[in-house]
Amino acid sequence: MDSSPRQSLLWSDEFADHTSGKLDPATWNMDLGDGAAAGLVGWGNNEREFYTSDSIVVKDSLIIHAIHQGTNSPIETYYGPAEWTSGKIHTAKKVGFKFGRIEVRAKMPSGQGTWPAIWLLGASLNEGVSWPECGEIDIFEGTGAHPSQVQGTIHGPGYFGNDGLTKLIQAANPLSDEFHTFAISWHEDSIEWFFDGVSYNKITRADSELQGKAWPFNAEFYLIINLAIGGWFAGEVDPNLRAAQLEIEWIKYYSENGIGELFLH
Protein backbone atom coordinates (compact mmCIF):
# COMPACT_ATOMS: atom_id res chain seq x y z
CA MET A 1 0.00 0.00 0.00
CA ASP A 2 1.36 3.40 -1.00
CA SER A 3 1.99 5.50 2.13
CA SER A 4 3.16 8.58 0.21
CA PRO A 5 1.29 11.75 1.16
CA ARG A 6 -1.43 13.01 -1.17
CA GLN A 7 -0.09 16.13 -2.89
CA SER A 8 -1.93 19.07 -4.42
CA LEU A 9 -0.08 21.79 -6.32
CA LEU A 10 -0.77 25.19 -4.73
CA TRP A 11 1.76 27.35 -6.59
CA SER A 12 4.63 27.11 -9.04
CA ASP A 13 7.03 29.22 -11.03
CA GLU A 14 8.18 27.45 -14.17
CA PHE A 15 10.63 29.84 -15.72
CA ALA A 16 10.35 28.45 -19.25
CA ASP A 17 6.85 29.98 -19.30
CA HIS A 18 8.16 33.55 -18.83
CA THR A 19 7.76 34.82 -22.38
CA SER A 20 8.76 38.33 -21.26
CA GLY A 21 12.22 37.10 -20.30
CA LYS A 22 11.78 38.70 -16.88
CA LEU A 23 10.81 37.65 -13.39
CA ASP A 24 7.20 38.14 -12.37
CA PRO A 25 7.23 41.37 -10.28
CA ALA A 26 4.14 40.18 -8.41
CA THR A 27 6.23 37.30 -7.03
CA TRP A 28 9.85 38.36 -6.83
CA ASN A 29 11.95 41.12 -5.26
CA MET A 30 15.66 41.68 -5.83
CA ASP A 31 18.21 42.48 -3.15
CA LEU A 32 20.86 44.84 -4.49
CA GLY A 33 24.30 45.92 -3.33
CA ASP A 34 26.76 44.58 -0.78
CA GLY A 35 24.38 44.56 2.17
CA ALA A 36 25.57 47.85 3.66
CA ALA A 37 22.30 49.65 2.88
CA ALA A 38 20.41 46.91 4.72
CA GLY A 39 22.72 47.12 7.74
CA LEU A 40 24.36 43.80 6.83
CA VAL A 41 27.79 44.66 5.43
CA GLY A 42 28.95 41.75 3.30
CA TRP A 43 25.44 40.39 3.88
CA GLY A 44 26.58 39.49 7.37
CA ASN A 45 29.03 36.87 6.10
CA ASN A 46 32.01 38.79 4.65
CA GLU A 47 30.75 37.98 1.15
CA ARG A 48 32.52 39.51 -1.85
CA GLU A 49 29.69 39.88 -4.36
CA PHE A 50 27.67 43.02 -5.19
CA TYR A 51 24.12 42.10 -6.18
CA THR A 52 22.75 43.69 -9.36
CA SER A 53 19.52 43.33 -11.34
CA ASP A 54 21.54 42.65 -14.51
CA SER A 55 22.79 39.42 -12.95
CA ILE A 56 19.31 37.87 -13.19
CA VAL A 57 18.31 36.39 -16.56
CA VAL A 58 15.15 34.42 -17.42
CA LYS A 59 15.42 32.38 -20.62
CA ASP A 60 13.99 28.86 -20.51
CA SER A 61 15.18 28.87 -16.88
CA LEU A 62 16.16 31.35 -14.19
CA ILE A 63 19.90 32.00 -14.31
CA ILE A 64 21.83 33.93 -11.70
CA HIS A 65 25.15 34.96 -13.21
CA ALA A 66 28.17 35.72 -11.02
CA ILE A 67 30.78 37.67 -13.00
CA HIS A 68 34.30 38.64 -11.97
CA GLN A 69 34.77 42.40 -12.37
CA GLY A 70 38.54 42.66 -12.49
CA THR A 71 40.62 45.18 -10.59
CA ASN A 72 39.13 48.35 -12.08
CA SER A 73 35.46 47.88 -11.22
CA PRO A 74 33.55 51.18 -10.91
CA ILE A 75 31.25 49.58 -8.32
CA GLU A 76 32.27 50.47 -4.77
CA THR A 77 31.73 48.02 -1.93
CA TYR A 78 32.58 47.87 1.77
CA TYR A 79 36.02 46.48 0.89
CA GLY A 80 36.77 48.63 -2.18
CA PRO A 81 36.04 48.06 -5.91
CA ALA A 82 33.64 45.14 -6.37
CA GLU A 83 35.41 41.91 -7.24
CA TRP A 84 32.17 40.19 -8.27
CA THR A 85 28.60 40.92 -9.28
CA SER A 86 25.83 38.37 -8.74
CA GLY A 87 22.11 38.10 -7.96
CA LYS A 88 19.66 37.51 -5.14
CA ILE A 89 15.87 37.26 -5.32
CA HIS A 90 13.14 36.67 -2.74
CA THR A 91 9.37 36.63 -2.29
CA ALA A 92 9.04 38.70 0.93
CA LYS A 93 5.69 40.51 1.25
CA LYS A 94 4.54 38.96 -2.03
CA VAL A 95 4.35 35.16 -1.73
CA GLY A 96 4.57 33.20 1.52
CA PHE A 97 4.40 29.56 2.52
CA LYS A 98 3.41 27.63 5.64
CA PHE A 99 3.88 23.85 5.77
CA GLY A 100 3.57 21.52 2.77
CA ARG A 101 6.27 20.52 0.31
CA ILE A 102 8.59 22.86 -1.58
CA GLU A 103 10.61 21.47 -4.49
CA VAL A 104 13.25 23.31 -6.52
CA ARG A 105 14.85 21.89 -9.67
CA ALA A 106 18.33 23.40 -9.95
CA LYS A 107 21.80 23.04 -11.40
CA MET A 108 24.54 24.38 -9.12
CA PRO A 109 27.55 26.51 -10.06
CA SER A 110 31.09 25.22 -10.09
CA GLY A 111 34.25 26.89 -8.83
CA GLN A 112 35.99 27.39 -5.50
CA GLY A 113 34.35 30.27 -3.65
CA THR A 114 30.83 29.91 -5.05
CA TRP A 115 28.04 29.73 -2.47
CA PRO A 116 24.57 28.93 -3.88
CA ALA A 117 21.61 28.85 -1.52
CA ILE A 118 17.88 28.08 -1.67
CA TRP A 119 16.32 29.01 1.66
CA LEU A 120 13.40 30.34 3.67
CA LEU A 121 13.14 33.08 6.28
CA GLY A 122 10.30 33.70 8.71
CA ALA A 123 7.99 36.44 7.46
CA SER A 124 8.05 37.87 10.98
CA LEU A 125 11.47 39.31 10.05
CA ASN A 126 9.55 42.02 8.20
CA GLU A 127 7.48 42.74 11.30
CA GLY A 128 10.37 43.56 13.62
CA VAL A 129 11.41 40.07 14.75
CA SER A 130 15.18 39.68 14.40
CA TRP A 131 17.20 36.76 13.05
CA PRO A 132 17.50 33.99 14.19
CA GLU A 133 14.34 34.43 16.26
CA CYS A 134 12.34 34.58 13.01
CA GLY A 135 13.71 31.17 11.96
CA GLU A 136 15.59 30.05 8.85
CA ILE A 137 15.17 26.87 6.80
CA ASP A 138 17.91 26.10 4.30
CA ILE A 139 16.45 23.83 1.64
CA PHE A 140 19.89 23.64 0.07
CA GLU A 141 23.23 25.28 0.72
CA GLY A 142 26.49 24.37 -0.97
CA THR A 143 29.96 25.55 -1.91
CA GLY A 144 32.24 25.10 -4.88
CA ALA A 145 34.85 23.73 -2.49
CA HIS A 146 32.59 20.71 -1.97
CA PRO A 147 31.01 20.27 -5.40
CA SER A 148 29.05 17.08 -4.61
CA GLN A 149 27.86 18.04 -1.13
CA VAL A 150 24.16 18.45 -0.33
CA GLN A 151 23.32 20.20 2.92
CA GLY A 152 20.07 21.20 4.64
CA THR A 153 19.92 23.19 7.88
CA ILE A 154 17.64 25.03 10.29
CA HIS A 155 18.59 28.07 12.35
CA GLY A 156 16.70 29.37 15.36
CA PRO A 157 17.24 30.86 18.82
CA GLY A 158 20.18 29.03 20.42
CA TYR A 159 21.10 27.05 17.29
CA PHE A 160 22.29 29.32 14.49
CA GLY A 161 25.36 30.04 12.38
CA ASN A 162 27.91 27.29 12.92
CA ASP A 163 25.55 25.76 15.50
CA GLY A 164 22.60 25.36 13.13
CA LEU A 165 21.05 21.90 13.09
CA THR A 166 22.22 20.33 9.85
CA LYS A 167 23.07 17.25 7.87
CA LEU A 168 25.09 16.79 4.71
CA ILE A 169 25.40 13.98 2.20
CA GLN A 170 27.51 13.41 -0.88
CA ALA A 171 25.99 13.06 -4.34
CA ALA A 172 27.55 10.66 -6.82
CA ASN A 173 28.74 13.49 -9.07
CA PRO A 174 29.27 17.26 -8.87
CA LEU A 175 25.97 19.12 -8.57
CA SER A 176 27.01 21.32 -11.49
CA ASP A 177 26.88 18.36 -13.90
CA GLU A 178 23.09 18.22 -14.19
CA PHE A 179 19.80 19.35 -12.66
CA HIS A 180 18.70 17.89 -9.33
CA THR A 181 15.58 18.34 -7.21
CA PHE A 182 16.01 19.77 -3.72
CA ALA A 183 12.97 19.62 -1.44
CA ILE A 184 11.56 19.83 2.05
CA SER A 185 8.43 18.29 3.52
CA TRP A 186 7.42 20.73 6.23
CA HIS A 187 4.78 20.02 8.83
CA GLU A 188 3.93 21.25 12.28
CA ASP A 189 6.92 20.47 14.50
CA SER A 190 8.94 18.63 11.82
CA ILE A 191 10.98 19.30 8.67
CA GLU A 192 12.31 16.60 6.34
CA TRP A 193 14.86 17.12 3.53
CA PHE A 194 14.96 15.29 0.19
CA PHE A 195 17.52 15.02 -2.62
CA ASP A 196 16.12 13.75 -5.91
CA GLY A 197 13.13 12.35 -4.05
CA VAL A 198 15.13 10.49 -1.40
CA SER A 199 14.89 11.59 2.24
CA TYR A 200 18.24 12.28 3.89
CA ASN A 201 17.35 14.15 7.08
CA LYS A 202 14.44 14.87 9.39
CA ILE A 203 14.40 17.20 12.39
CA THR A 204 11.51 17.36 14.83
CA ARG A 205 10.70 19.73 17.62
CA ALA A 206 11.04 16.79 20.02
CA ASP A 207 14.67 16.09 19.03
CA SER A 208 17.08 16.17 21.95
CA GLU A 209 19.08 19.05 20.45
CA LEU A 210 15.99 21.24 20.65
CA GLN A 211 14.93 20.47 24.18
CA GLY A 212 14.18 23.79 25.88
CA LYS A 213 14.80 25.80 22.68
CA ALA A 214 12.29 27.70 20.58
CA TRP A 215 10.85 26.25 17.36
CA PRO A 216 9.90 29.25 15.18
CA PHE A 217 8.88 27.21 12.12
CA ASN A 218 5.10 26.99 12.57
CA ALA A 219 4.45 30.27 10.77
CA GLU A 220 4.63 31.91 7.35
CA PHE A 221 8.03 31.94 5.60
CA TYR A 222 9.24 33.42 2.30
CA LEU A 223 11.64 32.02 -0.29
CA ILE A 224 15.14 33.31 -1.14
CA ILE A 225 17.50 32.20 -3.93
CA ASN A 226 20.99 33.65 -4.29
CA LEU A 227 24.51 33.01 -5.48
CA ALA A 228 27.08 34.46 -3.09
CA ILE A 229 30.81 34.57 -3.68
CA GLY A 230 33.32 34.09 -0.87
CA GLY A 231 32.49 34.67 2.78
CA TRP A 232 32.92 32.56 5.88
CA PHE A 233 30.98 29.57 4.54
CA ALA A 234 32.42 29.42 1.01
CA GLY A 235 36.03 30.25 1.89
CA GLU A 236 38.66 31.71 -0.42
CA VAL A 237 37.72 32.34 -4.03
CA ASP A 238 39.75 30.72 -6.79
CA PRO A 239 41.80 33.61 -8.24
CA ASN A 240 41.36 32.11 -11.72
CA LEU A 241 37.56 31.90 -11.50
CA ARG A 242 35.89 34.39 -13.84
CA ALA A 243 32.22 33.36 -13.95
CA ALA A 244 29.69 31.01 -12.39
CA GLN A 245 25.96 30.48 -12.64
CA LEU A 246 23.10 29.04 -10.62
CA GLU A 247 20.27 27.78 -12.83
CA ILE A 248 16.70 27.13 -11.63
CA GLU A 249 14.34 25.21 -13.91
CA TRP A 250 11.25 25.40 -11.72
CA ILE A 251 9.85 25.81 -8.19
CA LYS A 252 6.75 23.92 -7.03
CA TYR A 253 4.78 24.16 -3.80
CA TYR A 254 2.33 21.44 -2.77
CA SER A 255 0.04 20.74 0.13
CA GLU A 256 0.49 17.29 1.64
CA ASN A 257 -2.64 15.50 2.83
CA GLY A 258 -4.37 18.87 2.77
CA ILE A 259 -1.67 20.58 4.87
CA GLY A 260 -0.01 23.64 3.37
CA GLU A 261 -1.01 27.28 3.12
CA LEU A 262 -0.07 29.77 0.40
CA PHE A 263 -0.03 33.50 1.17
CA LEU A 264 -0.44 35.98 -1.71
CA HIS A 265 0.11 39.55 -0.53
Catalytic residues: 136, 141
The angle at the Cα of 77, spanning 74 to 83, to the nearest 5 degrees, equals: 65
Nearest residue to 122 via CA among 107, 109, 137: 137
Exposed e or buried b per residue across 141-171, where buried means at least 16 C-beta atoms within 10 angstroms of its C-beta = bbbbbbbebbbbbbbbeebbeeebbbeeeeb
Beta bridge partners of 35: none
